[in-house]
Structure formats: C-alpha cells, structure tokens
Structure 1
Amino acid sequence: MARLVHNIQKKQHRERSQIAERRHLGLLEKKKDYKLRAENYHAKEAKLKLLRKKAKERNPDEFYFGMHSTKTDEHGIGYKENPLDVAERELSADAKKLLQTQDAAYVRTMRLKELRVIERMQAELMPKASGKHTIFVDSEKEQEEFDPAAYFKTDKTLLNKRENRLKLEQLGQQTHAQELDEGVNKERVSRLKKLAAHIERERELAIVEQRLDLDRELAKGGEREKVVKDGKVTYKWKAERKK
C-alpha cells in the first residue's frame, strides 16, 4: 500500500506568474533571477570594498614606470592611450585625407611602392664592402719608394674611393679633389634626407592601411570580444563553423 501512495502523482507547486493587472510591468522576478541579481550585487560590493581599502592604504609617493604612458581622465581614472590612435594624431594632413577617401588596396599599393624605393636607396647608400688592392713590386727598394697616388694617377684624397677613383685628367685643371669630395658628401646627405622622407611616408601608409583593415573587419559584424593589452585595442572574433 505504501508503494501505491508514493506512485500517485502529486500536485506540482509552481511559482506564480505575473498577474494580468501588472502585466504591463513585465515578467515577475523568480527565485533564480533574484539569486543572479544578488550575486552580482554582492560581487560588486566586495570589489568596491577592496578598492576603497587599496585607496586608503595607498602610498602617495609610490612610482612605477607605467605612469609614463598612463593618463587620467576628468574623473581621475587612469587609462592608457591606444598606440594606433596616438600614431593617427601624428599623421600629416595628406595622410589623414587619404585615410578618409581611399580604400585599403590603393594604400597597400602605395606602401609597397615606397618599400621598393626604400630598399633600392638603402642598397645604393649602404657602405661598400672593405677590400684590399695588392700591388706587387720587384724589390724592397721599389716597395719603399712606392707612391699609390702616382701609381693610380689620382689625387691622394681619392685613394680610399675604390668604387669612384677618378684620375687626374678626369678631375680637370680647375676642379680640386677636396671640392669634389665635399660635393659628394652633400649629395649623400641629400639622398639620406630623401630616404628618411620615404621611410616616414611608408610608416604613415602602414598606419592608414592598418586602420582601414580594422574598420573593414568591424563592419562585417559577428560576435567578437574587445581585448585591451598595453593600451592597444584589438578584437578577437568567435570561431564559426564552416558550412
């Protein structure tokens, strides 16, 4: 008989729903909803308590190197700037205009073009490999009396220029070797300045291309997570199963 009693279906005690007169106020909060809300409240309360304790025990003379790159907002809360945003503020007016008007493919083409120019100029301006030019003589006396300038028929100031060692007749009667050397140095300085300008241009185009790629990925949508590391903002997309 006892088994029969336990097998009888008992009444289910359900939580009541929102009454019709209060339906405009939304769903009635259940026990599980209250539990989640209470846990969230107490977690925030504990965190605030810990932060107040840290602020109370804070040493006013403390220092750490992160302070160099950290700023505070109007509420006194510290934050780190995004390096990409800082780099964008340093862009020239032409680069900012390019960021607003052109697409990533055009910017990438221009950046690769600048890279090729930089590689070519660096190869031209790179110091030449050191080497030796050995001259053989017949006796020790000839070795002692050997004059490199007379042997190569050039000026003494041009002896170390293996790649561009001009002869005296090429220098001309009115051209002095020192003046020629100064002219070569001026030309090298000018080319180095042009190389620096190309490098800066390539850096700006790389920043513009990176921002355009990020904007294009953000426009695609999808579930993503914002990740902030060392003041740099990146996004991590949720992996989707391929069909």
Structure 2
Amino acid sequence: MSSLHNAVKAQKTHRERHQPDARKNLGLLEKKKDYKQRARDFNKKKATIKKLRKKALIRNPDEFYFHMINSKVEDGVHKEKSKAEKFTDEQLALMQTQDLKYIITKRTSERSKIEKLRARLHLISATDKPKNVHTIFVDNDREKEDLNLAARLGTHEAFLGRSFNRPLMEDLKKGKFSTYNIDPEQVSEANKATRKGYKELEQRIAREEQLAVLQAKMEIKVLLKSGKNKPERIVQEETKSSAPVYVWPKRERSNLLCQNDKFLCFFSLIE
C-alpha cells in the first residue's frame, strides 16, 4: 500500500507555459509543434513560388497552349471562358456523367409518362386540346334535319358541348347530380389534384424537350468524332435549345443515308 502511495505521489502534473499577461493581446503562446507546422507550410509555399518563377523564366513565349483560347482578359484579370453560353447546367452535368444510351432511355421513359398523364387528365382545361368528333349516322336528309341531338344522346341541351362527364336525363331526374349532394372538400381536393397533375405534365414536357436537344447534340458529336464523313462548313452554331447545323457535300449523302437516317434531320445537304 505504501509503494502505491509513493508512486502516485512521485507523479508530476506537467503544465504548458502560458502567454504572459503583458502579451495576452498577441493570442495564445506558440508551442514547438505549432512552429513546426507553420515553418513547414512556409517552406512549401516558398518552394512552389521558386518553381513557378523558374518555369516562367524558361518558358517559350511563342509556344501555343490551349489556355490562350480558353481564357480571356477582363479589366486586366484573366478569366476562364464559361460553357454556359452553349449548354444549360443540367445538360453539362448529363454530358459529363452519362452516355447517349442513358439519354435515349430517359427520354423514352419521359415520353411514356407524358402519354399516361395526358390519358389520365384528358386535357380538360387545356387551350390546345384535341376536338373530339361524335359521328351519328342517319338514313336520309329528312331524318338529318329532324335529328334532336339531346334526345338522341339522352342528355340535356346544356351538356351537348361536353366530351366528358355528360349526365343522362334519367340521372338528372333522380337527383344524382344535385349540388346538395356534392361535398365541397372533395371538389377542392379534386381541383388540387388536377392542378398538380397539369403542373407535373408541363414539367415533364419541358424535360423531354431538353433531353431531345441533348440527344441531338450528342449524336452529332458521335458522328463527327468518327472522322469518316466530314462536313464542308457549319451553318448554325449550337445553342441551349438547338443542335448545330452542318453543310455536307453531295457525295456524302449516300453514306449518311446508309449509316443512320436519324442524323439527316440535323444537317443541310448540298443538292
């Protein structure tokens, strides 16, 4: 017991020297490990500056490098040229991370979802909705003149212009469509769901258009990269909403037709 007591008593608490009161305005007192870290960082920066200075001295001013055309000077400051003039952020991200097959797959999926939404919403409140035609056959012109559409369809004349939710007269007489039986909360929820559906449809149509433009740009790049068919000149540069348009010599027309017909919609051919 005495040996343990002596061992504990022999231990000393080592405390680091603190900053003197007269120098507290300078912050914490720097220790050796802090000095070593600061000195290492300083020497590293010094070596980098020395290397860059040497590289600048032996550099050939007539040598071409791509930064000459990929940068510009604005107010005496070198700035990188942005690619946002040709592509949107979403297009750049997709081009850098995905390939053409992925774009085609996503576009096909978007088209499928758009068709399902259109079939579910029926485009009830759209301004450019298709006009439905209901053909009624009669035996002669007299029967045509005496035809009463409301009686023939079994509905009220006020509902003849409807192509959806057209109630029958017998249902109206029974009071199935009475306004007293309609729950306002259900109507509000239905309107909310309809607005949400049209908003989703609008967003998916816009996304499908962006994917179509991106697919066209990538297909043209694949064709140009092959090096087999070279265009004579470019007619229109690519933009955010369109692919580039090239002029191809007449002798290349048969080759283009043999390779893939879908590329022809992006090129102008000399006759």
TM-score between both structures, scaled by the size of structure 2: 0.40
TM-score (normalizing by structure 1): 0.44
